[in-house]
Amino acid sequence: MTLIKSISGIRGTIGGEVGENLTPIDIVKFTIAYTRFIASKNDAKRLRIVVGRDARISGEMVNDIIEGTLLGCGVDVINVGLCTTPGTEMAVITHKADGGIIITASHNPKQWNALKLLNEKGEFLNAAEGKQVLELAEQEDFLFPDVENIGKVISREDFNPTHIDQVLALNLVDVEKVKARKFKVVVDAVNSIGGVVIPALLRKLGCEVVELNCEPNGLFAHNPEPLPQNLTEISEVIVKEGADLGVVVDPDVDRLALVNEDGTMFGEEYTLVAVADYVLSRTKGNTCSNLSSSRALCDVTMAYGASYAASAVGEVNVVAKMKETGAVIGGEGNGGVIYPELHYGRDALVGVALFLTYLAEMGCKMTELRLRYPAYFASKNKIELTPAIDVDKVLATIKERYAHERVTDIDGVKIDTLPYWVHLRKSNTEPIIRIYTEAKSQEKADEVAEKFIAEIKEICGL
């Protein structure tokens, strides 16, 4: 039973008490606040908002409440129905809408849902804008339009085929080259919308598709976060089917993890690394990812004589940094590929199409391609503290102790040394510190994590 209102939207569990969960009343309040925010930027203009949702069980219920609320606020609605996060973003751009609402709780379990809010460019609202929406949600002086001025539903059309065509039309996607390889691909889409979209994309690329958990019924077949421990089934099927690779996406299809032909993981962190390698081989320009992403992207970028920049965690921060540094490819290490040539949003469809073009061009197996890249190993941990502990002070102490190393403090504290890096971040919602480390061996990454956990405990007197 949780409702998290943050600058990046509202997220909560379905059912229960108002204000404590994502109930119909909370959905209405937040939708009105978002409408007021978009209206404040568009004086008196009649607004058009795109609404899309992933396949989670509560999606239809949340969608109908949002749609009705928007109409009641005098806003016209373009409802794209079951759609991915990147697809809904592209629908905002394509339909020249004033904004968009994506109904998805991404990789969170089935009892969760959320509203992700987009601007007129199909990009997430930034922190200042998100704050304005939160403030507007506290006000109740809204005057609704009369019957002559309520909104109307402009269309209820599936946008996924258009999004697929837009991806395939990209210059760096070579459909014929991929078709010639006749890849056999196993897809695990945890029974969300990726189960429809990814097989459709792959078939247009001439692939033979083996579908695993591809019914968009919202009954997640396993923990929906595409991490190795959740992906045992696909590994077995790839080997049994003699497939070339496996493709795994999260419920809203902005994260992409790849699996090798022998059932081992290509590594979620290496999705972006390989795609960037391909894009940089064809396009001059820089790269960008967040501070918690693998160093491998920086290594690959430097090999092309380009420069790499790191941003604070969060897609909106990565996008801002990409624009600032002129990045031609970027994203998040957790399988999020952002290719500005199409749009500024993490897009697993773009990731699949670019990756397969590259794999076809290289003419090698997945395991062989993976060997091209420096091997780094990550350890992702968290330490639970008591609410009385001043987490900021703990991080400041660590920063001071390691002042002789390369320290970045734009988002928590990141310490970069030659043999390893460690990134310590506090959670905005719980009294915990996340401790991400990366080194050249798993032992070293785990050892560094343990060292910092012990140090934090010592500072806190635990």
**In the complex, minimum distance from the CB of residue 219 to Mg ion, in angstroms, rounded to a whole number:** 18
CB hemisphere CA count around 102 (13 angstroms): 30
Does 123 bind Mg ion (CB under 5 A)? Our answer is no
Stretch that binds Mg ion, among 135-143, 164-172, 243-251, 362-370 (CB under 5 A): 243-251
**In the complex, minimum distance from the CB of residue 427 to Mg ion, in angstroms, rounded to a whole number:** 18
Number of residues binding to Mg ion, judged by CB under 5 A: 4
> Minimal CB distance to Mg ion: which residue?
106
Stretch that binds Mg ion, among 60-68, 105-113, 236-244, 357-365 (CB under 5 A): 105-113
**In the complex, minimum distance from the CB of residue 250 to Mg ion, in angstroms, rounded to a whole number:** 4
Q: Which is nearer to Mg ion, 48 or 116 (CB)?
A: 116
**Cα–Cα dist 138/148, whole Å:** 28
Q: Which of 54, 254, 268, 411 binds Mg ion (CB under 5 A)?
A: 254
Does 357 bind Mg ion (CB under 5 A)? Our answer is no
Q: Is 307 a catalytic residue?
A: no
**Cα–Cα dist 73/95, whole Å:** 20
Does 54 bind Mg ion (CB under 5 A)? Our answer is no
Stretch that binds Mg ion, among 34-42, 106-114, 258-266, 365-373 (CB under 5 A): 106-114
Q: Which of 106, 132, 334, 437 binds Mg ion (CB under 5 A)?
A: 106
What is the DSSP track for 282-342? HS--EEEEETTS-THHHHHHHHTT--EEEE-SSHHHHHHHHHHHTEEEEEETTTEEE-TTT
**In the complex, minimum distance from the CB of residue 105 to Mg ion, in angstroms, rounded to a whole number:** 9
The dihedral built from the CA positions of residue 243, 342, 337 and 225, taken in this order, carries a sign that is negative
Task: Name the active-site residue from 106, 192, 289, 293.
Answer: 106
Q: Which of 26, 67, 89, 252 binds Mg ion (CB under 5 A)?
A: 252
- Strand ranges across the sheet with 432-439: 377-384, 432-439, 420-426, 413-416, 406-408
Q: β-strand 327-332 against 377-384: which pairing, if any?
A: unpaired
Q: Are 353 and 170 in contact (CB under 8 A)?
A: yes
Q: Are 112 and 13 in contact (CB under 8 A)?
A: yes
Does 250 bind Mg ion (CB under 5 A)? Our answer is yes
Q: Which amino acid is at 171?
A: N
**In the complex, minimum distance from the CB of residue 107 to Mg ion, in angstroms, rounded to a whole number:** 6
φ and ψ at 147, to 5 degrees? -60, -30
Q: Are 378 and 438 in contact (CB under 8 A)?
A: yes
Length of the chain: 462
Stretch that binds Mg ion, among 100-108, 163-171, 235-243, 394-402 (CB under 5 A): 100-108
Does 315 bind Mg ion (CB under 5 A)? Our answer is no
Q: Which residues bind Mg ion (CB under 5 A)?
A: 106, 250, 252, 254
**Active-site residues: which are they?**
106
